Amino acid sequence: MTGAEVLLRTLVAHGVEVCFANPGTSEMHFVAALDRVPAMRGVLCLFEGVCSGAADGYARMAGKPAATLLHLGPGLANGLANFHNARKARTPIVSLIGEHSTRHLAYDAPLTADIATFAAAVSPEIHRLESAAAIGPTAARVIAAASRYPGRIAHLIIPADFSWSPGGPLGEFTPPEPPPRPVVPQLGGAGNWGLLLGGQTARGRGLSLAARLAAAGWRVFLDRNAARVEMGRGGFQPERIAYFPGPAQAQLAGLTDLVLLEAKAPVSFFGYPDEASYLAPADCRVHELATPEQDGLAALEALAGHLPPASWEDVPPATPPPPGPLTLDALGQAIAALLPPNAILSDEMVSSGPPVLAALRHAPRFDYLPVTGGSIGQGLPVAIGAAIACPDRKVVVLEGDGSALYTPQSWWTMARENLDIVTVIFANRRYQILDIEMRRTGANGFGERASAMVDISTPPLDFVKLAEGLGVPAVRVETAEAFAAQFGAAMRRRGPCVIEAVL
């Protein structure tokens, strides 16, 4: 049995059953071993950023890691931006990186590079395989490192000769360690108390418990960097911390105490000349009840489990928008009205987000997967991973036009795997967030040359042709009623499609 086959069998024995791959020569024995280990699903991506983003989306929904398989330093490099997002999401990922054979490494061949330095930028967990015989036990350690709560990227660098040489024993199964339960002091009482939900507390039981505290007078917020959040009517919907400092400070104004659950104290996305980076009031006491590495749900049980189950005023369901121009409000209303229950939304709307998310409070309950590290180009790949983790759930990607162009190769994999993913492109033909950011940074009075650098209308992008060129059917719509008709139809059938919504 080759080292590559031992590796695959060790992965599968630990529940790592999907590998998002863009392989090259040094990974050919891993690819060959796929024939002999049918329990491993290899998913081919045409660009490495699709692999890393898909692995992030998979683990957020499956609750366990997928593997990525990338080709030496430069292949890893192309995956790093979405690994950065996965690092901020605290997602478990087993990152397999092929390396030159040990003998060949002595020569400075063209693809030779310092893989460990590339890898270090997104994770300190860098394991270099030292022999073919060690491949099983080493892989088991890497999987365990990735899976330690809440999760992280763990790299395994695999010289090609250790893949093609006979491997040793399979790695013994190591069950993932449970997160430590924090000690919970008595909290609440006098003052103006707030609760910030992150990690696993931003959904399910966490939200039910938080609703009890809300009923008892607490103000409850969602960490805007939480990797997976439950939203929509039928459940408790706390406010999500806003993007810009002013509105976020207004949300948190007056708090005397803020309790953190698997979340950090809110900070603004960017720093601006005359605005705050730290968003809570200066005199607000901050209580880190559970760090991101601790069991925040257990802490929340201790804090709120004794309170009576709470009810809250639910919002009414949405109705489709009236015929008319295709505004962001109309888009949001249509999506909220037509989304089936239990959908998954991957959000990379950027500037288009706020009105759409406001409308989506009226949608049936859904899982929401935001961009956690601010690196654009994860919306489409994350949807791939989510769809593979949850094949029976509808996945919708809400995607800016500028954002879509970082990893458009994702559409090809959606078509190849026939994934049930509907992409909505918000085609405003600008890096519109930068229009806004320009003014905030004090860079006023933009002239023609500067303005051109945020204008992506020349030449116009044709997303229908782009998606069709990558194998996915697509339509363009320009009115509210056309959008509702196309989005509704997409909700009723299965398979990938793209709707270019011209704003």
- For a second copy, the binding residues in 407-436 under the rule CB under 8 A are 408-409, 412, 415-416, 433-434
Interface with a second copy, residue 443, by CB under 8 A: yes
Interface with a second copy, residue 31, by CB under 8 A: yes
Piece of 36-44, 247-255, 304-312, 483-491 that binds a second copy (CB under 8 A): 36-44
Strands (E), 90-228: 93-99, 126-128, 153-159, 193-197, 219-222
Helix axes 72-89, 48-62, angle to 10 degrees: 30
Helix or strand or coil: residue 396? Answer: strand
Query: Please, which of residues 344-363 interact with a second copy by CB under 8 A?
Result: none
Q: How far is the CB of 1 from a second copy (least distance, A)?
A: 14
- In angstroms, the CA 34 to CA 251 distance is 51
Query: Please, which of residues 135-194 interact with a second copy by CB under 8 A?
Result: 160-161, 164
- In angstroms, the CA 256 to CA 273 distance is 27
- In angstroms, the CA 188 to CA 289 distance is 12
C-beta of residue 436 within 8 angstroms of C-beta of residue 381? no
C-beta of residue 130 within 8 angstroms of C-beta of residue 267? no
Among 180, 341, 391, 460, binds a second copy (CB under 8 A): 460
Query: Please, which of residues 66-85 interact with a second copy by CB under 8 A?
Result: 72-75, 77-78, 80-81, 84-85
Q: How far is the CB of 381 from a second copy (least distance, A)?
A: 13
Interface with a second copy, residue 398, by CB under 8 A: no
Interface with a second copy, residue 454, by CB under 8 A: yes
Query: Please, which of residues 292-321 interact with a second copy by CB under 8 A?
Result: none
Interface with a second copy, residue 101, by CB under 8 A: yes
Q: How far is the CB of 348 from a second copy (least distance, A)?
A: 13
Element housing 423 (H / E):
strand 421-427
Interface with a second copy, residue 21, by CB under 8 A: yes
- In angstroms, the CA 57 to CA 89 distance is 10
Among 1, 12, 28, 491, binds a second copy (CB under 8 A): 28
Interface with a second copy, residue 373, by CB under 8 A: yes
Q: How far is the CB of 314 from a second copy (least distance, A)?
A: 31
Interface with a second copy, residue 247, by CB under 8 A: no
Q: Tell me 364's DSSP state.
A: B
- Compute how many residues bind a second copy; rule: CB under 8 A: 107
Interface with a second copy, residue 372, by CB under 8 A: yes
User: How many Cβ atoms from other residues are within 10 Å of residue 141's Cβ?
Assistant: 16
For the stretch 311-320, contacts whose Cβ atoms lie closer than 8 Å and that sit 24 or more positions apart, written own/partner, are 311/211, 311/215, 312/211, 312/214, 312/215, 312/236, 314/233, 314/234, 315/233, 315/237, 315/361, 315/362, 316/233, 316/362, 317/233, 317/362, 317/364, 318/359, 318/362, 318/363, 320/484, 320/488
Q: How far is CA 437 from the centre of its chain?
A: 23
Q: Considering beta carbons, is residue 108 or 313 the nearer one to a second copy?
A: 108
Interface with a second copy, residue 108, by CB under 8 A: yes
Q: Considering beta carbons, is residue 181 or 272 the nearer one to a second copy?
A: 272
Among 129, 258, 470, 497, binds a second copy (CB under 8 A): 470
Q: How far is the CB of 372 from a second copy (least distance, A)?
A: 7
Interface with a second copy, residue 1, by CB under 8 A: no
Among 39, 166, 278, 317, binds a second copy (CB under 8 A): 278
Among 121, 216, 250, 253, binds a second copy (CB under 8 A): 121
Among 20, 162, 218, 406, binds a second copy (CB under 8 A): 406
What does the CA dihedral 121, 127, 130, 132 come to, rounded to 10 degrees? Answer: -120
Strands (E), 178-218: 193-197
Interface with a second copy, residue 452, by CB under 8 A: yes
Among 32, 286, 482, 502, binds a second copy (CB under 8 A): 32
- In angstroms, the CA 156 to CA 135 distance is 10
Q: Considering beta carbons, is residue 67 or 466 the nearer one to a second copy?
A: 466
- In angstroms, the CA 446 to CA 435 distance is 9
Among 3, 8, 14, 49, binds a second copy (CB under 8 A): 49
Interface with a second copy, residue 131, by CB under 8 A: no
Piece of 21-29, 210-218, 331-339, 420-428 that binds a second copy (CB under 8 A): 21-29
